[in-house]
Amino acid sequence: MQSLIRALAIPSLRQCPLPFRGFSTTAVSWDRRGSRVELGVDVHQAEDWTAYKPSPGLTFQEGDLVLLRDRSKGMKTLVGPVTAEGVVGSHLGQIKHSQIIGQLPRTEVRTHKGKPFTIHKPTLEEFVLLAPRHATPSYPKDANMMTMMLDVFPGARILEAGTGNGGLTLFLARSACINTLEGKQGKIDTIDIREEHSRKAQQLIAKFERGYYSQFIQFKVGTLSQSLNDHPPTEPYDGIALDMPEPWVELPSALKWLKNDRFLVCYIPNVTQVLQLLSTVRKYKYPLALESVQELNLREWDIRPTYLKAKRPVDQEIPDAPESGVIQPIEEIEPWVCRPTHDPSGHTAFLVKLRKCINIRVEAEAEAETQVEANEASS
């Protein structure tokens, strides 16, 4: 493992440069005993690593969401939208929003108790995990996988049943929003049976990226069949995502509005529900082919430099040294911790991918055979 690390020449955080020229901050690393330490970074180091100057548009403004990261323990807090009079507080002290507005990402701000935090632009993954929850969210690993299984492309029209916390909705909207080549705008129709869930999801989505993706999403309340019957779509969908306890109940309504040879993906917590879904498809002979059933389990690793209490002397003689008795120095290797983290991770759901399969060729042949039989009967 140590030789692999040397071969890869992975730099430590001590060597990580600043993102912008003239931008003063400190870097966090570990000392030889494995403790977190703050290292001052010379602002002039950034000249070797930055080929541009930061634009004023990169700074945080009123209405932005901000991710605060505790410099001592790395804990993350989602804050915002920030306002000129706003204040965020914790046991480490208070930070005024005015300390954040006008600053660049990775700027260090301090609480009134002097505790350091850095400010960051939250990613979609961080937003989904840290946003307030009124329903169980579709975790980023599953939402990402479902987006891939649905083969979402720019300009796609997607139907989602089970808005929930709006996590999957955002992943779908981000992938489908705009097709710049064809000038086509994507659309996500999302339906939830509970009005409160739909309303709060709409409010959450309006906070991310200043509500940019809200223009591509239409929220509806009711059952899937009721919504499709009361407000029929103008054209069929390129994909359908079902996140509900009994997706097989809504299959007849959903299939009518799914393009042929496109995908329907179900988010199902229990394997018995998977069997019920597939048994229903088989029993009623729905035009669906099972493509795959996926379960995602991720394991994060803790990899960091550490400290060896008992070190081998650098000038110790190698056992297989030549008879001349020449002492060869042993290369000192920086020790690393490499092990899985102790964060709990486990089963969230089964992802069932089905493809609509109406064989056009067979239908054409059947029509031709019917015509032949009719001609023979008339003659």
- Is 329 in contact with 314 (CB distance < 8 Å)? yes
Confidence class for position 355, pLDDT limits 50, 70, 90: very high
Alpha-carbon distance of 157 to 172, in angstroms, equals: 10
Confidence class for position 337, pLDDT limits 50, 70, 90: confident
CA angle 85, 86, 90 (to 5 degrees): 145
Q: Average pLDDT of 371-376?
A: 73
pLDDT tens-place string over residues 111-157? 898 889 999 999 999 999 999 888 888 889 999 999 999 999 999 99
Task: Give the pLDDT confidence score for residue 352 in this predicted structure.
Answer: 97
Helices marked H in the chain — which ranges?
2-8, 124-130, 140-149, 167-176, 195-207, 224-230, 251-256, 271-284, 360-378
CA distances from 139 to 53, 84, 206, 368 (A): 36, 33, 19, 50
Task: Give the pLDDT confidence score for residue 187 in this predicted structure.
Answer: 94
Alpha-carbon distance of 191 to 163, in angstroms, equals: 6
User: For the whole model, what pTM was predicted?
Assistant: 0.76
Answer with the residue of higher pLDDT: 177 or 366. Answer: 177
Give the torsion sign (CA, 362, 366, 372, 373).
positive
CA angle 7, 9, 15 (to 5 degrees): 165
What is the percent of the chain where pLDDT is above 70? 75
Alpha-carbon distance of 44 to 272, in angstroms, equals: 61
Task: Give the pLDDT confidence score for residue 73 in this predicted structure.
Answer: 80
Alpha-carbon distance of 310 to 317, in angstroms, equals: 17
E runs forming strands in 57-115: 66-70, 76-79, 87-90, 93-96, 108-110
Task: Give the pLDDT confidence score for residue 214 in this predicted structure.
Answer: 93
CA distances from 144 to 151, 168, 344 (A): 11, 8, 20
Going along the chain from its start, the domains and CATH numbers come out as 66-122 (3.10.330.20), 127-297+347-364 (3.40.50.150)
Which range among 56-60, 68-72, 249-253, 367-371 has the greatest average pLDDT?
249-253
Give the mean pLDDT of the chain: 80
